[in-house]
Amino acid sequence: MHSDDLEELILTDQGRERWQRRQRELERWVVRQKPRRRPKQTVILRNIVLDAEWLKAITILWRSGIDTEHSCAGVSLSDEPVDHSLYAYLTIPESERATRFVRFTMERLQHRVLITYEPHEKRYDLSSFFIQHNRSFCYLMERCALNFATLDPG
């Protein structure tokens, strides 16, 4: 089968044990109480509404010549447990520079990031692997973006 025939390719290797842990976490998340601590925090950047947790990372990426398409900070018991996608994620269109950033992130974050590639859309999705890591994932991605911009100024 040719890669263009696939909907998405998983580029990272979390291992069977982590996938099982992820499933258990999801099962617990579905049944647990989810009190709202504060509403979803958003900002507007270039006429796009972003979750505030992504502002710094996306700003750094844009300044580094890496476009983004979609993002979400993911649910969290520390603030908003409902009005987000289940996992924090960032979608990046494929380009030579974006591919270098994806590889850099893969090396730095290892099992903490789930990276998929969608051949038909020619884009990468980078997401947290565990729900409980959503907020820290946004920060880790900010650090990756900053380190990448410093080490590979393009």
pLDDT digit string (tens) for 94-119? Answer: 999 999 999 999 999 999 999 999 99
Asked whether the predicted pLDDT for residue 4 surpasses 60, the reply is no
Contact 149, 60 (CB under 8 A): yes
Burial of 16 (0-12, 13-18, 19+ CB in 10 A): exposed
Partnered with residue 9 across adjacent β-strands are 117
The pLDDT value given to residue 84 = 84
Integer Cα distance of 53 and 140 in angstroms: 11
Q: Dump strand ranges (E) for 7-147.
A: 9-10, 42-45, 48-51, 70-72, 89-93, 113-118, 123-128
Range in 14-18, 34-38, 61-65, 107-111 the model is least confident about: 34-38
Q: Which domain holds residue 141?
A: 3-26+35-151
The pLDDT value given to residue 3 = 54
pTM metric for this prediction:
0.91
Average pLDDT score over the chain:
93
Asked whether the predicted pLDDT for residue 1 surpasses 70, the reply is no
Asked whether the predicted pLDDT for residue 31 surpasses 80, the reply is yes
Q: How many domains are there within the chain?
A: 1
